[in-house]
């Protein structure tokens, strides 16, 4: 289990494959293993060396329960890239991981060759702010929801109507969500970062080639907010995947992987 000391923390990462490196960053509460079901096999098959990591807040990486900032997390990824000596490299992030990726591309373009931003946004609107506040208040009140109820709420937030209406698929998703561990102190610290500052004007300064992937049924980071990021970043490409919610890279991995691999392997990426 490779663990390195970077940016004042112990950071856990995994590697697979050989070739040009791709660093993959997950979202709030998720570990790097989530990528291993669909995205890591697709990227290694395309000839990449894939590095997945557990963000600050997610064990066995340091939990940092006293809290941290988005820039702390950006520094963690920068430190890992520098430790491995792989910059500039390709970087892929989803949700909070996409926030980290776009901030890294802005502040450390020397470390990023190309960036894929999945389920992202560049500001926090009224509904997303309300959702975050409500979840934080529920957590801080010490309320423990019944596991099945929590699983149903998570499904409604993260999946598309297409998946929600598929009884066989939903049985599997609900079982998976019900078995997920409760949020720990590190995940609670990550929740504070969901209220992203308005960063669209700053993102006009990104010069790294970017691919934005949005999902038509995403409640958490809706497609119109992802479109704003693509419009702000000069030359950014935009792809809308239909029939998917926030977990679109798991609901329709074939489509997401195709867009991602084509962007990362394009002639301009070499």
Which residues carry out catalysis? Answer: 95, 218, 246
Q: In the chain, helix, strand, coil percent, each to 5?
A: 50, 20, 35
Place of tokens 């929600």: 164
- Taking each helix axis from N to C end, the angle separating 96-107 and 70-84, rounded to the nearest 10 degrees, works out to 70
Distance, in Å, from the CA atom of 236 to the CA atom of 169, rounded to the nearest integer, reads: 34
Residue 134 contacts residue 156 (beta carbons within 8 Å): no
Distance, in Å, from the CA atom of 150 to the CA atom of 166, rounded to the nearest integer, reads: 19
Sheet holding 48-53, edge to edge: 3-6, 9-16, 48-53, 20-25, 89-94, 112-118, 210-215, 237-241
Distance, in Å, from the CA atom of 243 to the CA atom of 266, rounded to the nearest integer, reads: 26
Residues constituting the chain? 270
Handedness of CA 83, 40, 192, 226 (dihedral sign): positive
The Cβ of residue 245 has, within 10 Å, a number of other Cβ atoms equal to 24
């Amino acid at each position: 289990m490779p663990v390195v000391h970077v940016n004042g923390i112990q950071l856990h990462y995994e590697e697979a494959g050989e070739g040009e490196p791709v660093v993959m960053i997950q979202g709030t509460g998720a570990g790097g293993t989530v990528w291993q079901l669909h995205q890591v096999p697709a990227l290694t098959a395309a000839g990449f060396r894939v590095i997945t990591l557990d963000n600050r807040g997610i064990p066995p990486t340091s939990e940092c329960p006293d809290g941290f900032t988005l820039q702390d997390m950006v520094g963690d990824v920068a430190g890992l890239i520098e430790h491995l000596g792989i910059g500039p490299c390709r970087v892929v992030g989803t949700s909070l991981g996409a926030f980290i990726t776009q901030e890294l591309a802005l502040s450390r373009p020397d470390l990023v060759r190309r960036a894929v931003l999945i389920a992202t946004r560049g500001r926090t609107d009224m509904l997303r702010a309300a959702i975050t506040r409500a979840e934080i208040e529920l957590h801080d009140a010490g309320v423990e929801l019944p596991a099945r109820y929590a699983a149903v709420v998570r499904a409604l937030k993260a999946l598309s109507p297409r998946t929600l209406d598929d009884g066989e698929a939903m049985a599997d998703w609900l079982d998976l969500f019900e078995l997920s561990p409760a949020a720990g102190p590190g995940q609670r610290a990550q929740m504070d970062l969901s209220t992203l500052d308005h960063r669209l004007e700053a993102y006009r300064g990104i010069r790294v080639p970017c691919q934005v992937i949005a999902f038509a049924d995403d409640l958490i980071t809706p497609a119109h907010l992802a479109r704003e990021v693509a419009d702000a970043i000069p030359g950014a490409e935009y792809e809308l995947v239909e029939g998917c919610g926030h977990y679109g890279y798991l609901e329709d991995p074939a489509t997401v992987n195709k867009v991602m691999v084509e962007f990362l392997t394009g002639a301009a990426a070499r």
